[in-house]
Structure 1
Amino acid sequence: MIQATQALQGPLFTQYLWDRISEDVGFNSTKSQECNSSVPIDPTQKEVQTLVAHWNLYISLGGLSLGLLVVPFLGSWSDKAGRRPLLIFPSLGLALETMVYLIVMYMRLPVGYFLLGRMLSGLSGDFNCILASSFAYIADTSDKRSRTFRVAILEACVGLSGMLASIIGGKWMRAHGYINPCWLVLTARLTSALYSYLFVCESVRTDPAVRLFSTCHHKALWRLYSTGGVQSTGSSHKYKLWLYTLCFFVVVGVHSGCRELYVLFELSPPLCWGSELIGYGSAVLHLAYLSSLLGLKVMIRCLEESWVALLGLLSNIAGLLVFTAANTTSLMFTGYGLLLFFMTTTPVIRSKLSKLVDPLEQGALFASIACVETLCFMVGSSVFNSLFPATLHFMKGFPFLFGAIALLIPAFIICALKCLDQRHERQS
């Protein structure tokens, strides 16, 4: 449910920024005129594109930087305090964020006030804290054989909820504007917090004496990555932990950075999509979560997990390369179609990391992954939102080309680790 609100609010937020900033700078040209004429793009429109990208960057960094400080000790704290609090508190923080957004829209305050909402959400742990608790909950209640697929199921649920929200959001915004969908987001986030409080069962044995504000939570994360954890069998074990974490960082960084640009890329010429087409595009993107789950289910029966992750990277690279040159609606949807299995990579990496640590370290591990994910959003948002306006003058799709090249790094690391594992198996 929380992911559905993220998918519903994200594109609406970018479109609202576009409309508000267009009004502020006096850009009033109709999209049909811009797309059908051969006249060079209005410099005012380039200014709008640049300002929207920069405001997306500032507001994202405002929330994510605070989340980076909060998420690590919350995740480690959940090993003793339980997973349920990490489902409740961030949901309430996200609800406060939506309340601020509604106030800004109703009162037409300067867009800089959106930063306040993101900071409130960041202080509560933000969406990454909910993900960390959810994946730790899966690790608590599954064995190693079924863990990869169960992690993939959770990610598929995230994608399906996002797909439905995208379809609803695009049509709803076109018919009723921005306010009503935001009220739905607020209601859903409050409902999620209430549901977690009333119906979610605890998966770990809680310690009433554990303190929230304690340095021991950060120390647990440090021990995990400095020694490799309780199950460490030597330096190679620790290096695997670091290398898989690096793979996760690059993959999620590219995902998050590109996702922030899709709407901006589609709003501007030569595509000039409206809210309904943007909703359909976002829905097709989220549909890849389901196709990735089904593909993962089939592929893990005949392929080792590392090769499944590599196929996911290949799908991702192919889609981004098409986006690089996408200048028609059909080509843009072709790119979305090539992302058919792009979400098979992250559940495999999460599962491999989870299997490297002790059951009593799952909370600390997924806290560190959530922390890395926050860094991914910060770095991805900074890099891609900076690249887009900087490269508009020579190649509008350059950020997607950059993302495709960056994905070669985790592909090489996964191949290398797989070859080393095979060598060790032959030697033993």
Structure 2
Amino acid sequence: MDERDTAAILPADTLPSPDNESTTNDSCSPNEEVEIRTSSFRRPPFACPFGLSVEPVLFLSMFSIALQAPLTTQYLWDRISEDLGYNGTKGGGCGNTSDRPDPLQKEVETLTAHWNLYINLGGFALGVVVVTLLGSWSDLAGRRPVLIVPSLGLALQAVVYLVVMYQKLPVAYFLVGRLLSGLSGDFNSVLAGCFSYVADTTDRRSRTFRVAVLEACIGVAGMFASVIGGQWRRAQGYINPFWLVLATSLAAALYAYLFVPESVSPDPSAKLFTTRHHRAVYRLYSGRGRGAGEGTGGGDSSQRCKLWLYTLCFFLLVTVHMGSRDLYVLYELSAPLCWGPALIGYGSAAQYLGYLSSLLGLRLLQLRLADSWVAVVGLASNVAGLVVIAFADNTQLMFTGYGLCFLYMAATPVLSSTCRVFLVPGALFASVACVEGLSYLVASGLFNSIYPATLHLLKGFPFLFGAVLLLIPAGIIG
């Protein structure tokens, strides 16, 4: 997420429709149809409580991600500061009130940004391959594995992080945890699995409400985890919050195993390692071939051109979202803001509040405006917030920037919905997964490299850079 925000508020019509909606169930408890088409291995031991299905899985996984992401950056900062003998941020203040930048703080910032880069690149590089394979495989083999396995991978990552903290191992070992999480599909597989599950088990009338519930789970879990993490870190340090990260990841996997019934009729012959879906994406964008699972409009150059343009918009938007999110905590830790863990938690909560405000704003704007205008308004909100954050030198201005981003996620579902016009379900998941995975890689590499390289020029330059990048999709949509 990461906090992983791109698929968070996909509207109902972007989700692939089940092959036969008349045979799907809207409630959590498996009905007669599900009983017939699920093997005993895939049938959960218990019925889901309170009429829920995958919502608790997404809530717990999102809570785990939102709790650990800011704490990891803060831990890297503290460990690197300790190794270099820098104590400028201890006690809640930077201790450097002069206009002259502290060269030691610059070195800490640079090394922290670089280690964030290495750790994230390691996880995303594996995740971009694994999430595409797992997601496409789940269309045939079932959704439960892509809910359970990634959650266990997140738990393994938390175990590695705890070992590093207990033993004071070099921060390079964090990379091992990210690689294990990436090998299991990472949080993106959980996210995709939950939205696909809702598409499998609902009809068009009930799907909108169920998707809204999933979106609310992401925003509420993120806000709670951010506030709890900041206060807990200030009171007891890093280790106890990471025990909660481990517990929530295991709880997500356990809930999926015990309570979530299978929504797809499992095909025992389904292959995990196949290039079929990647070939479908290639044919989709190259115009070579047309058919089930290969894309539409292959012979129409105008339609293919529009698909490329909207994909470029989606790519740039996700890149800016992920790249800026990687830097917020680092930006807040250093001068002139010098935030402590509590303020960092509130700042992270303000970001997740944007999920809920964007969802509400999207629904209201669509009553009066065309989707293209809704996307432009969302991009304008994002640009305004990033520009203010780039020049924020006090707490009030920083939170003003977060407030201006209250519609920053409104453009994402519009682009996703538009892209779906050119796709058939067979190529939909693979295409979105490939674009998102590539966006994560580019975002981590680009923004974490620009930040230390431009500290002498303008500390908030990466945010200005992101705002300029967003003008490209605004122009294309316009």
Q: For 2:82, what is the secondary structure of its paired residue?
A: helix
The one-letter code of the counterpart of 1:80 is: L
Aligned length: 412
- Counterparts of 1:26-425 in structure 2 under 5 Å? 26-30=85-89, 34=94, 37-38=97-98, 40-141=100-201, 154-227=214-287, 230=292, 232-233=296-297, 234-359=300-425, 361=426, 364-415=427-478
In the aligned structure 1, how far is the partner of 2:235 from the partner of 2:262?
42
What whole-Å deviation, never above 9, does each CA across 1:53-104 have from its counterpart, x for those lacking one? 0000001011111112222222221221122211111111111111100000
* Closer, same or farther: CA 242–146 of 1 in aligned 2, 3 Å: farther
User: Could you tell which deviates more after superposition, 298-307 or 135-144?
Assistant: 135-144
* Closer, same or farther: CA 310–264 of 1 in aligned 2, 3 Å: same
* Closer, same or farther: CA 117–390 of 1 in aligned 2, 3 Å: same
Task: Report if the CA contact (8 A) 1:135-1:366 is conserved.
Answer: no
* 1:358 CA drift (Å): 2.8
Q: For 1:351, what is the secondary structure of its paired residue?
A: helix
In the aligned structure 1, how far is the partner of 2:351 from the partner of 2:333?
16
In the aligned structure 2, how far is the partner of 1:312 from the partner of 1:294?
12
Q: For 1:407, what is the secondary structure of its paired residue?
A: helix
Q: For 2:94, what is the secondary structure of its paired residue?
A: helix
In the aligned structure 2, how far is the partner of 1:339 from the partner of 1:147?
27
For 2:28, the equivalent position in structure 1 comes to: none
Please tell me whether residue 13 in structure 1 is matched to residue 13 in structure 2: no
What whole-Å deviation, never above 9, does each CA across 1:242-262 have from its counterpart, x for those lacking one? 322221111111011101111
Query: TM-score scaled by structure 2?
Result: 0.81
RMSD: 2.1
Q: For 1:343, what is the secondary structure of its paired residue?
A: coil
The one-letter code of the counterpart of 2:317 is: V
Aligned partner of 1:4 among 63, 66, 69: 63
In the aligned structure 2, how far is the partner of 1:201 from the partner of 1:248?
33
Task: Report if the CA contact (8 A) 2:361-2:407 is conserved.
Answer: yes
What whole-Å deviation, never above 9, does each CA across 1:251-295 have from its counterpart, x for those lacking one? 111011101111011000110000000000110111011111111
The one-letter code of the counterpart of 1:122 is: G
Give 1 or 2: higher helix fraction: 1
* 1:201 CA drift (Å): 3.2
* Closer, same or farther: CA 324–229 of 1 in aligned 2, 3 Å: farther
* 1:382 CA drift (Å): 1.0
User: Could you tell which deviates more after superposition, 63-72 or 103-112?
Assistant: 63-72
Query: TM-score scaled by structure 1?
Result: 0.90
Structure 2 unpaired stretches of 5+: 1-59
Q: For 1:34, what is the secondary structure of its paired residue?
A: coil
Task: Report if the CA contact (8 A) 1:133-1:366 is conserved.
Answer: no
* 1:195 CA drift (Å): 1.4
User: Could you tell which deviates more after superposition, 20-29 or 297-306?
Assistant: 297-306
